[in-house]
Amino acid sequence: MARDVPTSRRAVLLAIFIAFGGFLFGYDMGVISGCLIMPDFIRRFGQEGTDGQYILSSSRQSIIVSLLSAGTFCGALAQAFTSDRLGRRGSILFWSAIFTVGVAIQTGTTYSLIQLVIGRYIAGLGVGSLSAIVPLYNGETAPKAIRGTILVIYQVQVISGIFFSYLFELGSHTINNSASWRIPIGLQMVWGIILLSGMFFLPESPRHLLGTGRGDEARKVVADLNGVPEDDPLVIEIVEELDFAIREENMGGKATWLECFSTRNALWRRTINGMMLQFIQQLNGQNFYYYYGDTFFQSAGAGLSPYVIQTVLGAVSVIGTLPALYFIETWGRRKSLLLGASGQAICALIVALVGHTTLAPTGTPTSALTARNRAGGDVVITFAVFQVFIFGTTWGPTPWVYLGESFPLRVRPKSIALGSATNWFWNFMLSFFSPRIVDRIGPMIMLVFFGMLVFGYIYVYFAIPETKGLTLEEVDELYRSGTPSWRSVGWRPSEKHYHHEVHEKRASDSTENS
């Protein structure tokens, strides 16, 4: 009997460091929220009103926030080309450098809105590509027993990045000059350089090495990641099975984008599922809090500053993500998504109705708030915290886990690129239109997210199979089997992979000879 793949400390440490790309993603997403209400930032990039006061209109807020998402959409697609040509490791190096350049352009601007948004777009190219490559890399290097947990680490890093951006802005927003926003934005260059430097010491993905004919390097990486010698039977088994799967996948020639939607091995269903989960995730409501929470909570009438409230939300997000490291492998993917959609929908509905009926109009002075306004604000903030916590435990990490483990090597970079691009497209739509929608309907925008969460529950129940504990090759068989998603929990592969049998035979022969 072949033994289980060991949980290598090196593999875990490697995954944690690679997931630092998620920290960049989260930090860049969170940092702009506080900048939008900093007086110096508003004076430099806003417009002077008739009363002599500077304001940052909803249209300018939309442009500043959404240009990052526009870049991430393009970057998520572009990485599909670089991850094959440069390798997973080389691609991470390249896009980390692009991200760092974009941050430098943002930090160096003085009064130019155009320079600021160009810098955000370029940084977005790096963030979007890394959001696709990191799950791809981790999915290809992690032992299956902990693959879900390791992919969750990516989301932990994303949420940690958001939280640290809030912390730095909590400390810097009281500075009465451009340092109030330059410091938190400029710190991103440090994060980019850390990732860029560390990649020089990390290995290439063994699947990519085998796919490009570098078998000896692949064996060495597999051995290192599993903490065993290169001639260990486990290494032989893993490499032979990967090599066999790669040859089978490549028999049809070079993969195309259209192949991601082919009927072979239900690839169309997998790609659509990956894209739909990312679409639903973006319209859960939590990103509205991340992008515009400071502005939104100003009207909630709490006794705390919006920076403090946002920092509390960030801390709750981090705390909420940590249980996902356990639940992703005990609950599984389906249960996490179903429970998460239910809990978040309840929170979004309460925020919408209570906020609409009790909150004061935007711009109402604090001294004019009634007891009803303040009580309603407390309820809104409380259930916003609950929603963010539930998101961190369920819908935050799970779509990325599913994306990283659902596709065969042949189309994996392209399929993951489509999923990530979907994420960023709807991130762009959310960040661009949210301020305009809130201007018209206020807290009732949460009803949009409530409806999406109800739809998400239905979609997951009927369309998303359980992939917990399966190898990437066994996921292929699950989809080929045609098992209904609602009956996929407990499914086990019926066929033995050829090279697993080879390993069994070799182990048996070795025992007999000894």
333-392 pLDDT, tens digit per residue, is 899 999 999 999 999 999 999 988 887 776 677 777 788 888 888 888 889 889 989 998
What six digits make up the tokens of 273?
A: 């599922």
Structure tokens at 179: 């340092």
Instruction: Give the SS3 label for residue 72.
Output: helix
Most confident listed range (169-183, 192-206, 394-408, 448-462): 448-462
The confidence band for 292, taking pLDDT boundaries of 50, 70 and 90, is low
pLDDT at 300 over 70: no
Give me the pLDDT at residue 501, please. 41
The reported pLDDT for the residue numbered 288 is 77
Reported confidence tier of residue 221, pLDDT bands at 50, 70, 90: confident
153 vs 40 pLDDT, higher one: 40
Q: What pLDDT score was predicted for residue 32? A: 85
How many whole angstroms separate alpha carbon 221 and alpha carbon 238? 11
Mean pLDDT of the chain: 82
Residues 6+ apart with CB under 8 A from 91: 79, 82, 83, 129, 133
Nearest to 247 by CA among 473, 509, 33: 473
DSSP reduced 3-state for 202: coil
Mean pLDDT of 112-135: 89
Tokens representing 106 are: 């943002």
How many alpha carbons lie under 13 Å from residue 263 in its C-beta half-sphere? 0
Q: Which residue would you say has higher pLDDT here, 148 or 154?
A: 154
Share of the chain above pLDDT 90, in %: 21
Closest CA to 131 of 205, 29, 25: 25
Q: What is the pLDDT of residue 509?
A: 43
299 pLDDT higher than 90? no
**The pLDDT value given to residue 179:** 92
Neighbours of 463 (CB within 10 A): 15
> Which comes out higher in pLDDT, residue 13 or 30?
30
Q: What is the pLDDT of residue 296?
A: 64
Buried b / exposed e over 105-135, threshold 16 CB at 10 Å, is bbbebeeeeeebbbbbbbbbbbbbbbbbbbb
CB 46 within 8 A of CB 58: no
Please compute the mean of the pLDDT values over residues 267-276 and round it to a whole number.
93
Please tell me the predicted confidence (pLDDT) of residue 255: 74
Task: pLDDT band for 499, please (50, 70, 90 cuts).
Answer: very low
Q: What is the pLDDT of residues 313-330, one digit of tens each?
A: 888 888 888 888 788 878
Give, in degrees to the nearest 5, the angle at Cα 130 between 166 and 461: 85
Per-residue pLDDT band at 195 (split at 50, 70, 90) = confident
H or E element that contains 55? strand 54-55
Instruction: Tell me the CA distances in angstroms from 123 to 23, 95, 186, one per residue in order.
Output: 14, 9, 12
Residue 504: pLDDT over 60: no
Kindly tell me if the per-residue pLDDT of 1 is higher than 50: no
How far apart CA 27 and CA 42 sit, in angstroms, is 21
Q: Which two tokens stand for residue 98?
A: 């692009």
The pLDDT assigned to 270 comes to 92
Report DSSP state, residue 56: -
User: Which has more confidence, 287 or 452?
Assistant: 452
Summarize the confidence of residues 474-480 as an average pLDDT: 83
Give the pLDDT score at 461. 95
pLDDT (0 to 100) of residue 349: 95
- 107/111 Cα distance (integer angstroms): 11
